[in-house]
Chain A
Amino acid sequence: MNKIDLGYDSINLGHGSGGLMTRDLLDKIIFETFSNPYLDQKHDGSIIKMDGKMAISTDSFVVSPIFFKGGNIGDLAVNGTVNDVAMCGAIPEFLSLAFIVEEGLAIDDFIKIVETIKKNADRSGVKIITGDTKVVERGKGDKIFINTTGFGKVHPKADISAKKIKPGDKIIISGPIAQHGMAIMSQRDGLEFESSIESDTTNLNFLVSKLLDSFGDKIHLFRDPTRGGLASVLSEIASDIHMGVNITESALPIDDQVAAACEMLGLDPLFVANEGIFVSIVDPEIASEMIELMQKDDKGQRAICIGEITEEHPNKVVMHSVIGGKRMVTPMIGEQLPRIC
């Protein structure tokens, strides 16, 4: 998109009025950027044709700061929802896109975010087919909030269900943990780590669909450990299936700089948010083959088995720690509060 002159530098309340100013903003930025046959009808909504089983997932994005190392809120808005659809074992095709913009957001920032959304949508192969833009008074928002809803067709070979998990199933993680959360935190709090940590936000749908092509119903569950981190996702799984989860600390992939930053802040990387990784729970017979396949993909290069499902300690996640002994892993409750005396 060429640099366009809209005649104003920032979004104001008029852009949310529904009147001509809104129309101008939509035409010049949104429709221009996302142009496709569905959107071009400029109707109240879009009519799509889908056969068979469908997956739908929605998410709102309220991250602060909106620009961070490794991406911006636009990356998250697409990848987050695309990945959620993918975690259902589906192939994401369409996306809705709704903005709530705080009065005063620089037009350049808005455009940058819209462009990022476009880039990610193209990369993950989804079309933006409906949307909305609202503007709220200064102080009633935090620059920009985005909501997206994703639609996708369930992969013909997929049979994703926690009910299929059985003892002995392997837990595979696609890449290093805690990267996104630490990137956001260091930026938000102005923490100057010697090394720079970037968000890992990316779309995972093609890798997921490749895995489903090869392993189909031997894959019992996909989950992306976003908010609350790996600990919260594994705890949820354990209590959903009333079985135990065993993981091995030494197997957990984590970048040295991320680990060092967590250590310095006294944070447990298991609780830190991720964006570009996912957890698979799979039949043990395919585990090593699946890891091999993942490692060939640039989004799964550091894929590794981190543990397994067990009949012991139902509902509990236990980590075999590096220094010996077993540690209880509990879901995150609010912020990380100190517990030690």
Chain B
Amino acid sequence: MSKSFKIIMTGRVQGVGFRPHVFNLAQKFGLKGSVSNNEEGVIIYLSGEFEKIQQFYKTLIQQPPKLAKIRDHYLSEITHRTFDGFSIVPSQTEGKLNLQLTPDFAICDTCKEEITDPNNRRYHYPFATCVNCGPRWAITNKFPFERDHTNMAVFEMCDSCVTEYQDSSNRRFHSQTNSCSHCGIELKLTDAKGDTISGEDAIQKTASFIKDGNIVAIKNTSGYLLCCDATNPLAIQKLRERKRRPTKPFAILYPSLSLLKQHLKVSKIQEEILTSPESPIVIIPKTDLDGNLAVEELAPHLNQLGIMLPYSGILHLLATELGIPIVATSGNIHASPIISDADMAHHELAEVADYFLNHNLEITNPQDDSVVKYSNRLHEKVIFRRSRGLSPNFDAEVKTDKKILAMGGHLKSTLAFIPNDYLYISQYLGNLDHFDVYDRYMNTAAKYTKLFEVLPETILVDKHPAYNSTLHGMELGKKWNIPVASVQHHKAHFASVLGEHGLFDRNTPILGVVWDGTGYGDDSQIWGGEFFTYHHQAMERVGHFEYFDWLASDKMAKEPRISFFSLADAAMNEEIQQKFSKEEISIYRHLKKKELLKTSSVGRLFDAVASLLNICDLNTYEGEAAILLENQVHQYLLENCTSYISEINDGIVPTHLLFAKIHHDYRSGRDKQEIIVDFLFTLTTMVIKMAEQQNIKEIAMSGGVFQNTVLVDMIKELAGSEYKLYFNRNLSPNDENISFGQVAYHQYIKH
């Protein structure tokens, strides 16, 4: 007997070829009905034999489309209906959006093959996409995911494309981003003034310009990239000068995995993520490097390189044409946000790029490339930047029926929003000191409230009164007349790990180790080397690094030598004389006598050690000293390590004593690498000691310091199987996780 059923699928089910997949599956099972996208996900109506429908349901759940991530699914019987066959019907929405937004996907292998096959009708067409690949979030204005809701709406499909779109056996059946060179997006190569050079053979010409040592700004599908020959030191130096970026490493785009593997040792796990639909930049050690990369210009003084593979048609065609690795760095200047608009690019990058490779697909949500790294020994994944391919979705369960907007931090700002059953975390937005970043940050908040047609009921901000995120949160709170609550920075970091791993319901206490650069503490001092416990919906600070003077405001974070000055004792006068002018010495000595702000920052301790060891006195980019320090370590044997500190009294790690001991070692002529290894081992020991003292077996760690993968490895090794360790998993340990941490803290901690 024929019955009728309704199936609802939620999660990442739009823009991933779900409807055509359902269509084909229904055909296979001989079922009649319809499928459409709505505000909740995908809704399927079926009429047929109950058994067949059950089988269909099971199969769909077990074998969903490649890129789909089903979160929930429901099957319910409805009053009997009759259908003429099975059809895909346009989106029908009745309520507010309540689904996962579809991120951008890297170009798939099949589309890659097509555009390099001279016999294919998409030969050399850079914007080939299918249900399994291509931009989504970058070009979407509205959901449900339909062509009309994306910037593809202005391109009308030609007959051939329509045929593909309507053919249920074609892999472009109902592919919303379908286009070809006859009906689609056009490339245009121009010079810096904006005068057209070429349309047809733009890729070939771009390649030859790059080969000749030029810098080209390339409009990719998620924003502009600045590219030049990665084997040409002069070209890279030119880019550094023009971008005023003296030493910060550049990401390198390899033309293919095979060439990359010839040049560099790539592990299985690195290979997997490099070729995943997210296709992030992966930081890989450069040991045994082959080929002729200009490494000293690409990543000065570092023993690692940021690598990616072509994740869009443009990059694939260009890289194939070139056959050599190229620099591919975000198209922006001085920490401004990545640019996505041609006029803006020509205006802002006129003095950086020699040529511009533009196209006419508008980008609504520009995103930087995501960046990840795996620790060398134990392959712990550390996210350095969460953006394209990952945001704005986030798969953590946060129990709430309250609509919350969390404003995040200041330097590595992100927003977290709960407007419905889902939690969304924006892409990395950047340093809010910059107006363009702030503007994008404000617009992102506005965009989310518009997209979901929901205003928050509560706003969460950092406790720091002068973070621009705090100020903007206050402004919004006033505008919408809703409460604004603040969350202490390091407690938010801790909560972010607890939230990511769902640990708030634990019956036994958890130790929180939160180490970073700065955060405003509950005692109005600058925290950054904190130990907490979490137990029964309460967080308590149980220890920290002994306070030292915070000198010279924001300058201290930019000049590691100032951290050195702060921690220096009488035995270090010689170094002080070398690093500072007489005037500076007199001024800073005077300052130290005053009642100053105090800090427990481990980030600043890293700076001080880097300065002491003459590795870095002045940062030219954020975190430089700490990165250089980590990069000095090539190998270590845990059993040969000694901790500079043996005991923690009353939860206070004796920072000054630790520093004095390191200095003593250095003065006695000990090898730098050995000192750094013992320094990291000391930090590792402090984690375990604190756990012992608190009698806790589970440890959660967060904060920018945990981007140090040597430290992560060491802690894991020393902890062995006795302790259960938790790190940020799908979020970065740096301040990008603050927005989520604020939400988690607010929901689960009694206050």
Contact = CB atoms under 8 A, between A and B. Distances in A.
Interface of A: 189-194, 263-267, 313, 316, 318, 321, 323-328, 330, 333-334, 336-341
A285 B735 CA distance: 47
Interface stretch (B139-147, B586-594, B684-692): B586-594
B517 A340 contact: yes
B465 interface: yes
B734 A341 contact: yes
Interface string B410-426: 11100000000000000
* Residue picked from A193, A333, A339, most chain B C-beta under 10 Å: A339
Given A266-B556, A337-B526, A341-B557, 9 more contacts: A189-B590, A192-B590, A327-B433, A327-B434, A328-B468, A330-B471, A334-B465, A340-B622, A341-B623
Contacts of A318: 435
B518 interface: yes
B355 interface: no
B625 to A, nearest CB: 13
Interface in B511-556: 516-518, 520, 526, 550-556
Contact of A339 (B333, B410, B516, B550): B410
B244 A328 contact: no
A328 B432 contact: yes
Interface in B597-620: 597, 603
B586 A192 contact: yes
- The 10 tightest CB contacts between A and B, nearest first, are A266-B555, A266-B552, A341-B517, A266-B553, A326-B435, A340-B557, A325-B334, A318-B435, A333-B466, A340-B554
Given A191-B587, A267-B553, A328-B433, A337 B334 contact: no
B467 interface: yes
A118 B468 CA distance: 45
B435 A313 contact: yes
A339 B464 contact: yes
A327 B520 CA distance: 22
Given A190-B590, A264-B584, A327 B518 contact: no
Contacts of A194: 583
Given A333-B465, A337-B520, A338-B557, A323 B334 contact: yes
B556 A337 contact: no
Contacts of A189: 590-591, 594
B124 interface: no
Contact of A313 (B439, B526, B552, B603): B439
A336 B553 contact: yes
A265 to B, nearest CB: 6
B488 interface: no
A61 to B, nearest CB: 23
Contact of B587 (A192, A321, A325): A192
A245 to B, nearest CB: 12
Which DSSP category, helix, strand, loop or mixed, fits chain A's interface? Answer: loop
A341 B334 contact: no
A334 B597 CA distance: 13
Interface residues of B, number: 50
B335 interface: yes
A106 to B, nearest CB: 26
Contacts of B464: 337, 339
A264 B558 CA distance: 12
A189 B587 CA distance: 9
Contacts of B336: 325-326
Contacts of A265: 552-553, 555, 587, 591
Contacts of B439: 313
Contacts of A330: 466, 468, 471
Contact of B411 (A325, A327, A337, A341): A341
B436 interface: yes
A189 B590 CA distance: 7
A164 to B, nearest CB: 26
A72 B517 CA distance: 40
27 contacts: A189-B590, A189-B594, A191-B586, A192-B590, A193-B587, A263-B555, A264-B583, A264-B584, A265-B555, A265-B587, A313-B435, A313-B439, A318-B435, A323-B244, A323-B334, A325-B333, A325-B434, A325-B435, A328-B432, A330-B466, A330-B471, A337-B526, A338-B550, A338-B554, A339-B464, A341-B622, A341-B704
A341 B553 contact: no
Nearest to B552: A266
Interface in B424-461: 432-436, 438-439
Contacts of A263: 555
Given A318-B435, A339-B410, A341-B411, A324 B244 contact: yes
Nearest to A260: B583
Given A193-B583, A328-B468, A340 B558 contact: yes
Contacts of B517: 340-341
Contact of A337 (B435, B438, B466, B594): B466
B587 to A, nearest CB: 5
A248 to B, nearest CB: 13
A337 B557 contact: no
Contacts of A193: 583, 587
Nearest to A318: B435
Interface string B322-339: 000000000001111000
B244, B554, B735, most chain A CB atoms within 10 A? B554
B556 A338 contact: yes
A279 B119 CA distance: 69
Nearest to B336: A325
B191 to A, nearest CB: 21
A191 B471 contact: no
Interface string B460-489: 000011111001000000000000000000
Contacts of B555: 263, 265-266
Contacts of B587: 191-193, 264-265
B552 A328 contact: no
